[in-house]
Amino acid sequence: MSRSPSPALPLDGLSAIVTGAGRGLGRAEALELARLGASVVVNDYGQPGRDGSGEASAAPAEEVAAEIRAAGGRAVAHLGDVSDHERAGALVQLAVDTYGKLDILVNNAGILRDRMVFSMTEDEWDSVIRVHLKGHFNTTRFAAAYWRARSKAAGAPVYGRIVNTSSEAYLAGSAGQPNYAAAKGGIVGLTTSTALALAKYGVTANAICPRARTRMTEDVFAGFAEPAGGELDALAPEHVSPLVGYLASPAAGKVNGQLFVVHGGMVAVMERPKVAAKFDTAKEAFSYEELTERLSPYFEGRPANETFGAAEVLGLKRG
């Protein structure tokens, strides 16, 4: 990563937090924000297991922060579990104390504990919901309170950007990930609610559904061939990070409450759920018999594997 000598970088003078930034997508996002001029707090809990197991380590976050500084940027590392409410608050405060303010929050931290719903334990459910959904809430809550207070003190809107990380597991379902899919769906709901609540303060909130080959998705994409000859992998995190940089920038000031699917040189803007069919009772109220007569033929005529969402936005070839 190298910093442009131009003084007109789009994120110059802005500060950012990226959670889960020690590896994979978060690392690519932190590097991209720094390349665009932002001062970055690199957060990561540093556990070696993608299921959240192992001893916490500051090394992953420190390495990314050092990489940013070596390229001429500004960065500090933060070791902390964002699912801990107090630590999330301390993370936001660290950005304010270090850089004088917080302008951008990118929520990326997460773990996986995959299991079919009939086999999943309570802890496997709770831990994934806690890190993904509660972790997104915790940082958002403290950042939102900070921006609201700044706006009220200034008597005008302030600059604030939130970029959350959802998943196509929410859009299309994922049979072995009921906890993950539910958490990612909850993140979309949190994002749209936050977008409405903070718009008057000058803050936007958007979410992305990225596809990328990372430590968390190594099993998912194990069958997809990596390119030879030095070509950029279609599943490289670097295909995702530019969208995060854009959503964090002044250029995206009118983009709010949106959901994007992004990977391999493709960005798709998703629509909110639409009515697929509507049925009105012929009487005062529906009866079981009328619903059976009206609804069953409709669903029997649809593909057995069809869900309410789009299963694939863009196909990928397996190697």
In this predicted model, what pLDDT tens digit does every residue of 192-218 receive, in sequence order? 999 999 999 999 999 999 986 655 555
Q: Looking at the predicted structure, is the pLDDT value of residue 117 above 60?
A: yes
Structure tokens at 248: 């964090």
Residue 204 CA to residue 41 CA, distance in Å, equals 20
- Looking at residue 319, its pLDDT comes to 39
As a whole number of angstroms, the distance between CA 107 and CA 266 comes to: 21
pLDDT computed for residue 52 by the predictor:
65
pLDDT of residue 317: 43
Q: Rounded to an integer, what distance in angstroms lies between the CA atom of residue 18 and that of residue 33?
A: 9
**CA dist., res. 195 & res. 256, Å (int):** 6
Q: Give residues with Cβ within 8 angstroms of 216, minimum separation 6.
A: 24, 50, 110, 111, 112
Is the pLDDT at 229 greater than 90? The verdict is no
Mean pLDDT of 169-198: 94
Catalytic residue among 39, 83, 166, 167: 167
DSSP helix, strand, coil percent of the chain (3-state; round to 5): 40, 15, 45
Mean pLDDT to the nearest integer, 95-118: 95
Candidates 99, 127, 159, 184; catalytic one: 184
> Residues of the chain with pLDDT > 70: what percent?
82
What number of other Cβ atoms are within 10 A of residue 24's Cβ? 23
> Phi-psi category of 264—alpha, beta or left, where left has phi over 0 and alpha has psi -120 to 50?
left
- Minimum mean pLDDT range among 6-10, 41-45, 136-140: 6-10
Is 184 known to be catalytic? Answer: yes
Out of 46-55, 61-70, 136-145, pick the least confident. Answer: 46-55
Would residue 167 show up in a list of annotated catalytic residues for this protein? yes
Active-site hit among 159, 170, 180, 246: 180
Average pLDDT over residues 300-317: 56
| Mean pLDDT on 172-186 | 92
Of the ranges 59-63, 67-71, 272-276, which is most confident?
67-71
Residue 309 CA to residue 307 CA, distance in Å, equals 5
- Cβ atoms of 178 and 121 closer than 8 Å: no
What's the start-to-end Cα distance of the chain, in Å?
Answer: 30
Q: Is the dihedral of CA 137, 139, 141, 147 positive or negative?
A: negative
Sorted by sequence, the CB contacts under 8 Å of residue 106 that are 6+ apart come out as 16, 17, 18, 19, 21, 26, 29, 30, 33, 162, 163, 165, 244, 248
CB 82 within 8 A of CB 92: no
pLDDT digits (tens, 9 = 90+) for 134-143: 999 999 999 9
Helix residue spans in the chain (DSSP H): 24-35, 59-70, 85-99, 122-129, 135-154, 168-172, 178-198, 241-247, 288-300
Which letter does DSSP use for residue 246 in this model?
Answer: H
